[in-house]
């Protein structure tokens, strides 16, 4: 005796279920990967913020060293950032920075400069208009950065003791 199977799907009416299940799995994987991508992006931005805080404070400290370095008591800010690499006022080589840092947010060597009334460099800031993730819990020296809406508002300025 010979059994005849009907033409088409031998298992009955399950056509397309595997395809729908596969599409469902791909959709879930896509949303998981999108979440991982967003999380990774936020983590990278936080690392850039930490680097900006470090670099900005290196500039602030170097400007302070420059300002207070002349034994004659004359205190001036540098005319340009390059003066921090080699102080033109000193008869011997005096360096306050080993290199000029790039802005970690914009990845550019161009910084915004905070100028004194005489036109000298008192500080630096990022030229980025992007909003920061960090809004609170800054060190005391960076307390003015709290609740700022963009990185360009984080100004790393050296102010001598007793200055307003």
Nearest-angstrom CA–CA distance, 124 and 112: 6
Q: Is residue 164 part of a domain?
A: no
Q: Is residue 41 part of a domain?
A: no
With CA atoms as reference, report the closest residue to 85 among 76, 98, 74.
Answer: 98
Q: Is residue 24 part of a domain?
A: no
Report the number of distinct structural domains present in the chain.
1
Task: Show the low-confidence residues of the chain (pLDDT under 50).
Answer: none
Query: Tokens standing for 55?
Result: 């670099």
Per-residue model confidence (pLDDT) at position 115: 97
Neighbours of 55 (CB within 10 A): 20
Half-sphere exposure of 128 (CA within 13 A, CB side): 21
Asked if 69 and 75 touch (Cβ cutoff 8 Å), the reply is no
With CA atoms as reference, report the closest residue to 154 among 163, 94, 162, 143.
Answer: 143
Provide the domain limits for residue 62.
Answer: 49-157
Q: Is residue 22 part of a domain?
A: no
Per-residue model confidence (pLDDT) at position 90: 86
Q: What secondary structure does DSSP assign to 95-113, as a single string?
A: -S-SSPPPBTTTTBS--EE
Per-residue model confidence (pLDDT) at position 91: 86
Full-model pTM: 0.77
Q: Is residue 21 part of a domain?
A: no
Residue 108: phi and psi, rounded to 5, are -125, 155
Per-residue model confidence (pLDDT) at position 22: 80
């Amino acid at each position: 005796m010979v059994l005849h199977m009907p033409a088409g799907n031998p298992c009955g009416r399950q056509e397309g279920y595997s395809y729908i299940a596969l599409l469902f799995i791909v959709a879930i994987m896509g949303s998981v990967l999108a979440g991982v991508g967003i999380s990774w992006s936020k983590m990278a931005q936080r690392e850039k913020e930490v680097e900006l805080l470090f670099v900005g404070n290196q500039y602030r400290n170097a400007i302070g060293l420059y300002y207070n370095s002349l034994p004659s008591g004359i205190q001036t800010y540098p005319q340009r950032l390059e003066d921090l690499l080699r102080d033109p006022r000193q008869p011997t080589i005096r360096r306050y920075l080993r290199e000029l840092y790039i802005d970690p947010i914009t990845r550019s060597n161009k910084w915004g400069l905070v100028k004194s009334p005489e036109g000298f460099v008192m500080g630096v800031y990022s030229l980025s208009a992007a909003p920061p993730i960090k809004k609170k819990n800054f060190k005391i020296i960076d307390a003015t950065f709290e609740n700022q809406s963009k990185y360009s508002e984080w100004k790393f300025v050296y102010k001598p003791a007793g200055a307003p």
